[in-house]
Amino acid sequence: VRWNDGDLMTEVDIPMLSTGQRVVIEHGAGSGEVKTIPATRVVPPPPTPADATLVEAYRARGLRINEAAPEVSFTRARTLMGEATREGNYHLAFEWCEAVLQRYPSHPEFLRAKASLLLMMGEREKAIEIYEQAEGIESDPAVRKKLEELQRQQ
């Protein structure tokens, strides 16, 4: 993209995102019209029609949504998190998980996934804390057993 203000010619290479999100380049002071998100390695995948049901189920349980965080697709983020985990890239999987938890901080499935990823990355104490948080929202016998096992090993 080339831009000329009469005094200065600016040429910019615009990155193309595979998720179809638009890239906005501003040539002036920040505008309040464009919502920006902090730089990360992952771009939250936009919600799909399949996510609408999952969001409604989350809301129906009375769980809090962080409206300030960018919208994200549960299904796509879960798929990307699973792929990264299978490839052994736990840090990338953790970032996908965090992308969902920024918007849906009490989502039990993603909290359990975060705890498991922390455990795989060697963060045992933090993993126990997150497992306990997930258990407080929705109890799962397998997670309860794992949590008790981790607490005994301390």
Q: Are strands 2-4 and 9-11 parallel, antiparallel or unpaired?
A: antiparallel
> pLDDT tens for residues 23-34?
566 666 655 665
> pLDDT tens for residues 117-148?
999 999 989 999 999 999 999 988 888 888 88
CB 110 within 8 A of CB 69: no
Q: Which residue has the tokens 């953790």?
A: 94
**Quick check: is 22 in a domain?**
no
**Quick check: is 52 in a domain?**
yes
| Domain that includes residue 48, residue range | 37-153
**Quick check: is 5 in a domain?**
no
**Quick check: is 82 in a domain?**
yes
Task: State the pTM of this model.
Answer: 0.71
**Quick check: is 27 in a domain?**
no
Task: Measure Cα distances from 112 to 8, 9, 22, 133, 143 in Å.
Answer: 52, 51, 32, 9, 8
How many structural domains are present in the chain? 1
**Quick check: is 63 in a domain?**
yes
**Quick check: is 4 in a domain?**
no
Domain with residue 47: its CATH number is 1.25.40.10
**Quick check: is 139 in a domain?**
yes
Q: Is the pLDDT assigned to residue 56 strictly greater than 90?
A: yes
Task: Measure Cα distances from 36 to 40, 43, 100 in Å.
Answer: 12, 12, 17
